[in-house]
């Protein structure tokens, strides 16, 4: 079965590997002034982008069909009774140790460094990044704290939607991440 899968993906993998634009890009990057730094970064972005797209397609094909009963993923179900310490630790892990966030934060960091921000400018850039990157989490907490029963009802509806559509949501996130990595890679070609 593995042999069949490898045989089936080989033509597509070779077509991607022999695409002219990435070959031109990597040669130009490697021969540039910062080739030793940017070449491996381009390769890491390339691998990340391909892996994200492949995982997204796999997840899409395995999604529940219309009318199928869906159970929440185990990690979702385990959050109902989270302790205070677990909630804090989970917030740290989902923001700081999440591979997607690591890639995007590293990209943002590189942009700030390349822009030459330091001292107060660096602090301001970090604050803006953290606030924007946290707006959905902070917004949900604000709605919950300020909205009372109406907010609880709204958030329960959102929870039901997310449980029923967790696969589709994951695929969309993976596609957006892939597009972001691709966009960052393309914008880096001009540097």
Q: Name the token pair of 2.
A: 């593995």
121-128 average pLDDT score: 85
Per DSSP, the residues of 71-86 read PPPHHHHTTTT--HHH
What would you report as the CA-atom Rg of the chain, rounded to the nearest whole angstrom?
21
* Reported pTM: 0.53
Q: 99 versus 58: which is more confidently predicted? A: 99
Range from 12-16, 84-88, 162-166 that averages highest in pLDDT: 84-88
């Amino acid at each position: 079965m593995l042999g069949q899968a490898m045989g089936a993906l080989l033509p597509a993998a070779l077509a991607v590997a022999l695409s002219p634009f990435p070959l031109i890009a990597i040669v130009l990057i490697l021969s540039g002034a910062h080739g030793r730094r940017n070449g491996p970064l381009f390769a890491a972005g390339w691998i990340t982008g391909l892996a994200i797209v492949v995982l997204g397609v796999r997840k899409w094909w395995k999604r529940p069909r219309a009318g199928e009963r869906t159970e929440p993923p185990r990690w979702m179900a385990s959050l109902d009774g989270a302790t205070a310490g677990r909630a804090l630790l989970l917030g740290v892990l989902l923001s700081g140790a999440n591979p997607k966030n690591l890639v995007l934060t590293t990209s943002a960091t590189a942009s700030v460094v390349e822009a030459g921000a330091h001292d107060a400018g660096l602090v301001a850039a970090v604050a803006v990044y953290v606030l924007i990157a946290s707006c959905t989490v902070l917004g949900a907490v604000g709605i919950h704290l300020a909205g009372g029963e109406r907010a609880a009802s709204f958030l329960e509806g959102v929870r039901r939607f997310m449980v029923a559509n967790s696969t589709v949501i994951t695929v969309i996130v993976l596609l957006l991440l892939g597009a972001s990595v691709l966009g960052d890679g393309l914008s880096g070609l001009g540097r």
